[in-house]
């Protein structure tokens, strides 16, 4: 049985996301420059954010809380209320950043949705991710939307069984090796990495270059061709 369901990541696969996090981190660094050097601050915010993932989950709200916690830590509690208010402001702006589909995404989804059942599979805050999908104008291409706390092999098994014939007859595409590729392959699906030039360190992992169900593609526009090749190999 050929692939019938295609899972697609959202942030930095369909639209810009990490770009806005990078600019927010830069503003945070400038705000705390009187208390700590950039290198230490980057290490502190990364450690705090990683520690808080299990409590706050992924997304801008949790990142804002982690920025505030880090600011209090590195300033030994002397950070001013005005500075904390500024952190809230840049966190709010991160929540409200414009949703800009990446080049070629609309055309690729149009082609893919004619051949496959598309399911958006993304991590993060439910309200924020739903809002971004609505603002993107891409929602009509998807027959299902799954906003999850973490992407694991069992996550893909559950989703692809609910929306299709199981993970063996599904593919996942996204920009994260750790979240979009490795657990999908573990579940028995095909997986395509669509790299984005900015990668959050938490999502980095070695490429499974020799895996027969994996491909690295230069853009989402190449996904229809690769899936056609996969179908041809499966038929032989």
Tell me the pLDDT of the chain averaged across its residues.
91
Question: Which residue spans within 188-233 are E strands per DSSP?
Answer: 190-193, 214-216
Mean pLDDT value of segment 83-105: 92
pLDDT band (50, 70, 90) for residue 230:
confident
As given in the structure block, the two tokens for residue 165 are: 């014939």
Q: Is 29:38 a contact under the CB 8 Å cutoff?
A: yes
* Nearest alpha-carbon partner for 172 in 99, 102, 227, 105: 227
Give me the pLDDT at residue 19, please.
86
How much is the pTM?
0.86
How many Å apart are CA 212 and CA 110, to the nearest integer? 27
Give me the pLDDT at residue 196, please.
82
* Sign of the CA dihedral running 197, 201, 202, 204: positive
Give me the pLDDT at residue 54, please.
83
Mean pLDDT value of segment 138-144: 95
Predicted confidence (pLDDT) per residue in 156-196, tens digit: 999 999 999 899 999 999 999 999 999 999 999 999 999 98
As given in the structure block, the two tokens for residue 151 are: 């992407």
How many Å apart are CA 138 and CA 88, to the nearest integer? 29
Domains and CATH numbers, the chain: 5-16+100-235 (3.40.50.1000), 18-95 (1.10.150.240)
């Amino acid at each position: 049985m050929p692939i019938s369901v295609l899972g697609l990541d959202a942030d930095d696969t369909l639209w810009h996301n990490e770009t806005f996090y990078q600019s927010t981190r830069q503003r945070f660094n400038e705000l705390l420059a009187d208390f700590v050097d950039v290198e230490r601050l980057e290490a502190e915010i990364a450690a705090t954010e990683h520690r808080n993932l299990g409590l706050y989950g992924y997304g801008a709200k949790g990142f804002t809380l982690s920025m505030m916690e880090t600011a209090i830590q590195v300033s030994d509690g002397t950070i001013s209320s005005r500075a904390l208010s500024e952190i809230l402001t840049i966190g709010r702006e991160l929540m409200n950043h414009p949703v800009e589909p990446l080049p070629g995404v609309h055309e690729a989804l149009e082609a893919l949705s004619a051949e496959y059942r598309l399911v958006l599979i993304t991590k993060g805050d439910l309200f924020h991710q739903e809002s971004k999908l609505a603002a993107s104008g891409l929602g009509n291409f998807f027959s299902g939307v799954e906003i999850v706390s973490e992407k694991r092999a069992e996550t893909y098994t559950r989703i692809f069984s609910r929306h299709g014939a199981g993970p063996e007859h599904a593919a996942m595409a996204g920009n994260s090796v750790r979240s979009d590729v490795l657990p999908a392959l573990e579940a028995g699906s095909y997986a395509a990495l669509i790299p984005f030039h900015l990668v959050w360190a938490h999502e980095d992992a070695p490429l499974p270059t020799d895996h027969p169900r994996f491909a690295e593609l230069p853009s989402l526009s190449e996904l229809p061709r690769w899936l056609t090749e996969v179908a041809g190999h499966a038929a032989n």
